[in-house]
Each structure stands twice: as structure tokens, then as C-alpha cells.
Structure 1
Amino acid sequence: MISVLLADDHPFMRAGVEAVLRGSRYDIVETVSDGEAALEAVARRDPDICIFDIRMPKLDGVGVLEAMRSRGDERPVVILTAELTDRALYTAVKAGVNGIVLKNGAEDSLIECLDEVVSGGRAIPAELLTRALDLAMSGGTREPLAVLAPRERQIAELVAQGLRNRDIAERLGMTEGTVKVYLHGIYQKMDVENRTSLALIAREASKVS
């Protein structure tokens, strides 16, 4: 059996991965729910392969990968994610991630990914490899608002101008609640935690555009 460490803060996702691997040659020796616990478990259980969720408390999946590589730990690591920001993708590939599995469809692709990784290959979807190559050629960065849809970009730019949600709603002819929904999606796409961070990024983008 091939021992696996699974780190994901969502019990539903952990149960799903366990169900997919049940009856296969992959044996989950431990599951943890945050990045720091993942690092401790790697040292304690010495698994053959690690599966990390991209978003976890204390330390995200890419952060755990970087910490392992900085210690000289080159064991296979697979990142499990719903979506990847440019920064996370570039950092993961640069740190030598062995596989990336998108949660949408993971039940069909996870074991195939693990098989490829265990055999010494790299299992990263072609579209993500292309995107990572583009990022590498641009030094790991691209226009920061490029991930946003036109309406999202418009809202981000208004936030950068210091407008409140009520003002943005009036300017764009929508409700304040709709603006809040848009902002939640923007925060996720931009991988930021709050309005201030978004405003700073959008202001910098306006300087170079």
C-alpha cells in the first residue's frame, strides 16, 4: 500500500477523498485540517505522498509545500483546489508541485493523478501548465485585475477611488446587496482578505495601465 497524508479543512471534502481512495492501493494514514498540522503529520507519519487543499487555516497548501521543499523534502505533493490564483499557481509550480487536481471532477481524476505522480511523472492540467508558463515568462506576475470580469473590474476600480458600497451601487445602478456579492467574489478571485487590500492592488494596477 502507498501511504497518503490528507490535509483539508472541509470534512465533506476529506470524506470524499477517502471514499475515492477506498479499495485502491492508496491508504490514508492520517487526515488533518490545517497547514501547521500537516507539516507535523508529515514529520510524524512519513507518508509516501501528500494531498493538500489549497485553502487551509494557519498555512495554506502552497505554504506547506514551500516549507517542505525548504527542508529538502522532495516527496510527491498533490494540490487539491477549486480554483487557483495566479500567485498560488506560479508559487506551487515553482516549488515543484507534482500534481494539481481540480475539485470539480476529482472523483474521476484523483487516482489517475496519484498514479502518474507515484510513477515519477507530473500531473498538472494542460491549461494550468500553459498559464504557469505565461506567468513564468512575465516574472510570475501579470496585470493583477486580469482575473476579473468587466463588471468586477469596474467595482474594484471604484473601491480604489474610495467609494462606499452605497455609492458604487448608485453609480452602477444596482443594489448595495449586489455590490457586496460582487465584492465577495472579487476577494476570492484576487486572493485578498478585505477592501483595503483590494483598493491597494487596484490603485497599483491603475498606475501601470
Structure 2
Amino acid sequence: MRERIETILRGTEFEIVIAIGPGDPIDEALHAYDPDICLLDMRAPDSTGLHPLIQLRHSGDAPAVVLLVYGIDDDTLLSAVTHRVEGIVTEEDGNGQLLDTLRTVARGEKSIPNDLLHRALELAIRGRAANPLETLARREREIAEEVARGARNREIGERLGMSEGTVKVYLYAIYRKLGIKTRTELALLVHGRPPVRES
């Protein structure tokens, strides 16, 4: 694979400064060679997936990242976009697209196929819609978070500047929106755990 990429880049403005395999310490390589772009080959049989991208993003000041993929499943695509990948090159794009992508990324721009961007957007929208708390208004969400912290209606009213009766009215509306009946169910939703219902 390195030979193939070297052939594509031969005679261009790009050069390979280092190639590392799965499990090699990527942060040490970055510190020693300071590359402008990291080419992450997810097509290799021993690929560690997006782990290097996530590791780079958590390290702070890191180079741009371009992914080489055969195909890309929904979870991987959404995670890649969420972790601010700069470029994606699919196998069907061919060798020429790799060079175009590297040049685009080197200019500080993103190079992700439109169909993948649209797919990622649809996945993100679908994910937000799947979260029932997204249907709550700002004040309702504040009350739900107070309930999740264990606050009673009087305490919530004091913290948010409203009467205890108003809190009860809000809670009734929240329960109806979310299709629940108890404070415990609401707290579970806020903490990311769906309420367990008896069959």
C-alpha cells in the first residue's frame, strides 16, 4: 500500500515522511516528523478503524486527517464527521481522487464526497429525532434536568423563579410530550437510560 501511494505522489508536491502500522505510537511519530496530513488507511486487514483519528483529535493540535475506505458504514461515517475528519477517499474514487483530496485538504478545506456528507447529515438529524428530550422547550428541559438531580417541585420553583404550581403544570406537559408518567422515568431519560416498563 505504501508503494502504491508513493507511486501516486511521485513528482507531486507531497512526500511521505513516515509510515506506521496499527498499534504503533502515533503521537511519537507526530512529534518526531510533524506531518501536515495524516493518511489513515481503513482498507488494511489489520486496520484499527477510527481509533487513530479519535486519538489525534483528543491530543489537541494535530494534523489534518484523510481516510481511505472501501465502503463506510453509518456509525463509522457519523463518527468520522463528528471527529472533524478533513477528507474521505473511497476505493471507487480511484487514485486521481486521492491527489485531489490531498490538495484540497492542504489548502485548509474539507474534501468529503457530497453523497457521504448528505448521508452523515441525515444520520445526525435522525439521531437527534430519536432523542425524545429534543422535543422539549428550553424551560421544560431545565425542569427535567432539575428532576434528574433529585430536586422536588418547591426547590425547582425556587431555583428557576416560578411557583410550585407552575412547575407542576410544566411537568404535566413534559410527561405528555415524552409519553411517561413518573419522575423516575423522566430522570432515566435525562440520564440516557430508557425507562423500563412492565409488559
Inter-partner Cα distance in structure 2 for 1:141 and 1:102: 29
Inter-partner Cα distance in structure 2 for 1:106 and 1:90: 23
> Residue type of the partner of 2:28?
E
Inter-partner Cα distance in structure 2 for 1:125 and 1:140: 23
* DSSP-derived class of the 1:77 partner: strand
The residue aligned with 2:14 is 26
1:79·1:101 contact (CA, 8 Å) conserved in 2?
yes
The residue aligned with 2:123 is 135
* DSSP-derived class of the 1:52 partner: strand
- In the TM superposition, what is the alpha-carbon distance from 1:104 to its structure 2 partner? 2.7
The TM-score with structure 2 as length reference comes to: 0.59
Inter-partner Cα distance in structure 2 for 1:17 and 1:94: 27
1:29·1:47 contact (CA, 8 Å) conserved in 2?
yes
- In the TM superposition, what is the alpha-carbon distance from 1:57 to its structure 2 partner? 7.4
1:99·1:123 contact (CA, 8 Å) conserved in 2?
yes
The residue aligned with 1:115 is 103
1:33·1:56 contact (CA, 8 Å) conserved in 2?
no
The structure carrying a bigger strand percent of its residues is 1
- In the TM superposition, what is the alpha-carbon distance from 1:55 to its structure 2 partner? 5.0
* DSSP-derived class of the 2:15 partner: strand
The residue aligned with 1:100 is 88
1:66·1:95 contact (CA, 8 Å) conserved in 2?
yes
* DSSP-derived class of the 2:19 partner: strand
The TM-score with structure 1 as length reference comes to: 0.56
Structure with higher Rg: it is: 2
Inter-partner Cα distance in structure 2 for 1:52 and 1:30: 12
Task: Give percent identity, aligned residues only.
Answer: 38
Inter-partner Cα distance in structure 2 for 1:123 and 1:35: 27
- In the TM superposition, what is the alpha-carbon distance from 1:63 to its structure 2 partner? 1.1
Inter-partner Cα distance in structure 2 for 1:42 and 1:52: 13
- In the TM superposition, what is the alpha-carbon distance from 1:61 to its structure 2 partner? 4.3
**Residue deviations 1:21-58, cap 9 Å, x none?**
01100010111221534443223211111100125577
- In the TM superposition, what is the alpha-carbon distance from 1:59 to its structure 2 partner? 6.5
